[in-house]
Amino acid sequence: MPHSFDWVDAFTSQTFGGNGCVVVHDAADIPIEDCLALVRETSLSECAFLVGSDVADFGARYYLADKEILMAGHPTIATVTSLIDRGVVDLSSGHAQFTLEVGAGVLPIEVVSSDGSAVITMTQPAPKFGREIEAGIIAEMYGLTKEDIVGQPQIVSTGTAFCIAVLKDKDALRRAVLNPAVWASLNPEGTARADLMEPFLVTLGGETEAGDTFSRLLLPAPMPPEDPFTGSATGCMAAYLWHHNLIDEPRFTAQQGHWMGRPGDAQVEVLGLRDAPTGVKVGGMGKVVMWGVLEI
């Protein structure tokens, strides 16, 4: 059956910025194998599929090239951008609030529009702080030294788990090159997504004056080698920085993708006390780049 779709760039207001995502509508009947095949066909990191929901206003599922991902930031921004562009979400008052069910649960969504631009904010769940990872392991995985790493890397999840590793400066961030063999040795085939040790490399200070942090997510095959903007990891990173007293204020601007020619920005706010954050708001803009009909 034909299914309409939008190709959306998320965490940006410009075409070919941020992170791209195909959003397929009325997709409940599409087999998982075809969902995965579409991701591989597009060469994107993820695609989103609207499936309806019994517990939220909308429902969506997100897929990587080889598996479902239960929570993902840029597909959430892309999905809501697509709903807005198609008039499914009413922004005539300049404001909308609703819920979106993803694999990890129900996300509260808020949209604020002014001057024709809409900022979409998701509230990610309370962070779960997991096991700590030796700095030397991160260094080996990226061809760095232990001295390049600040503090103790740690697994954090706000729906999808990442290992947050703070690097001392942008020189170290630029030098980082993923060693797939080391990554695979720590993440053997069949490892559940929640158990992956997938580092999100972070530096304090933005790439532009508007930013407060700058990050990279380097990926092994079959994923693209680097993710332009990672909204789920940004939520984990924000919780980590706030919890470990590495930022003074819970609100800041996160940047990613500038070195790839796909600059992206997110407005971030950690909710709750440092000792026990209760959630993370991650907001950004989206841009519909193309649309059409998918024949599967």
pLDDT, averaged per 10 consecutive residues of the chain (296 residues), comes to 96 96 98 97 96 97 94 97 96 96 96 91 97 97 98 96 97 98 92 88 98 97 93 98 98 98 98 97 98 94
Cα dist. 75→23, 49, 169, 271 in Å?
Answer: 8, 9, 29, 22
Q: What angle do CA 157, 175, 73 make, to 5 degrees?
A: 30
Query: H or E element: which one contains 180?
Result: helix 180-186
pLDDT at 242: 98
Phi/psi at 231 (5° precision):
-70, -35
In this prediction, residue 267 carries a pLDDT of: 98
> Can you give the pLDDT at residue 209?
97
Query: Tokens 């601007």 — which residue?
Result: 253
- Domains observed in the chain: 2-123+285-295 (3.10.310.10), 128-282 (3.10.310.10)
Radius of gyration of the chain (CA): 18
Q: Which two tokens stand for residue 211?
A: 């930013």
CA-closest candidate to residue 132, choices 102, 94, 166: 166
**pTM summary value:** 0.96
Residue 180, pLDDT score: 95
In this structure, which amino acid lies at residue 249? Answer: E
What pLDDT does 191 receive? 87
Partners of 50 in beta bridges: 60
